[in-house]
Structure 1
């Protein structure tokens, strides 16, 4: 059974494969980005969310991963991304902070925070 840090590492490593990433979540697991009012619950909804997200940034991949809190049930980490956004011709450079809660070897909750100004700049056409 995977621990919270193992689940976070697996999620970050499989982000380019929405089906694989979504299968890490419990049937009622939640992926939430409250700073941008985004939320998906359950593997099917999470897979759809990630698929749509990746369509906007095909080269999206996490880097500079630092998981600083590691218990069997919870993990907290910071991880970055730097990717080209075809729709705007800009680079999306972001640092995420994520808290993962695990139960029975699955992700119960992954709540991520991000810099909304950096996101706005990358996705605006101005």
Structure 2
């Protein structure tokens, strides 16, 4: 049975394969990013969410993974993304902080925090003379 750390690492490694990443979640598993009001429950909804992210940022992938707290059923870490946003041409450079709760070898909850100002700048279609 996979530990929380193994599940988080697998999720981060498989983010470019929505079906594989979503399969790591329990049937009632949840991914949520409350600061941007995103929540998906169950593998099908999670797969759709990840696929949607990849449409907006085809080069989306996690790097510089740091795990700060690890127990068999809980893990907390930070990980980064740097990818171009298709709609704006801007670079989305973000650091996520995520806590994962595991149950029965599956992800029960993955809750991630991010800098909403960074996201707004990368996805905003503002004038080019404003950085």
TM over 0.5: yes
Q: How many angstroms does 1:68 deviate by?
A: 1.1
TM-score (norm: length of structure 2)? 0.95
- 1:92 matched to which residue of 2? 92
- Show CA shifts across 1:55-97 (max 9, x none): 0000000000001111000000000011111210100000000
- Give the CA RMSD over aligned residues: 0.4
Distance in 2 (CA, whole Å) between partners of 1:85 and 1:53 is 10
TM-score (norm: length of structure 1)? 0.99
Tell me the SS of whatever aligns to 2:20: helix
Structure with max Cα Rg: 2
Distance in 1 (CA, whole Å) between partners of 2:94 and 2:52 is 18
Tell me, which stretches of 5 or more residues in structure 1 are unaligned?
none
- 1:25 matched to which residue of 2? 25
Q: How many angstroms does 1:5 deviate by?
A: 0.5
Q: How many angstroms does 1:100 deviate by?
A: 0.1
Q: Does 1:70 align with 2:70?
A: yes
Distance in 2 (CA, whole Å) between partners of 1:34 and 1:54 is 20
Tell me the SS of whatever aligns to 2:48: helix
| 1:45-84 mapped onto 2 (5 Å cutoff) | 45-84=45-84
- 2:16 matched to which residue of 1? 16
- Count of residues in Structure 1 that have an aligned counterpart in Structure 2: 126
Tell me, which stretches of 5 or more residues in structure 2 are unaligned?
127-131
Q: How many angstroms does 1:53 deviate by?
A: 1.2
Runs of 4+ off more than 4 Å: none
